[in-house]
Amino acid sequence: MTIQEKIKADSILALKAKDKETLNILKVISGEFDRISKNVDDDKAIHIIKNMKENAIELKNDQEIKVLDKYLPVAISENELNSEITKIIKTNKYDSPRQIGLIMKELKSKYGSILDGKLASSIIKKLL
């Protein structure tokens, strides 16, 4: 089941449970998906939900953050990311900060949407 399908199913459950606040949040998410395309793949859906979560954090909307978190995958831990970056640097013999892009490309291909780019970038800068 894709994220988009799960949100539609959860919208029906929220409607039946008369949970108007959750239903409204899910409708906004669905609206964002529909604005992009009728069928949004999971990577794009995660990207949209992450952006919505950042906005909710800025507005300190705890209910919205809680609902959005249900649809985001668990991010890779800092320790796991650190060991993976160290492995990539050693395997490819990277030694220059100019090679950050190459390392990030490998990380994104392996971890996709669960990668925290800011954290990865800061770890890479420390290691190079």
Per-residue 3-state assignment (H helix, E strand, C coil) for 51-92:
HHHHHHHHCCCHHHHHHHHCCCCCCCCHHHHHHHHHHHHHHH
- In tens, the pLDDT along 51-101 reads 999 999 999 999 999 999 999 988 888 999 999 999 999 999 998 889 999
Give the model's confidence band at 19: pLDDT under 50 very low, under 70 low, under 90 confident, else very high: very high
Rg, C-alpha atoms of the chain: 18
Instruction: Name residue, tokens 């649809």.
Output: 71
What pTM did the predictor assign? 0.72
CA 106/CA 60 separation, integer angstroms? 34
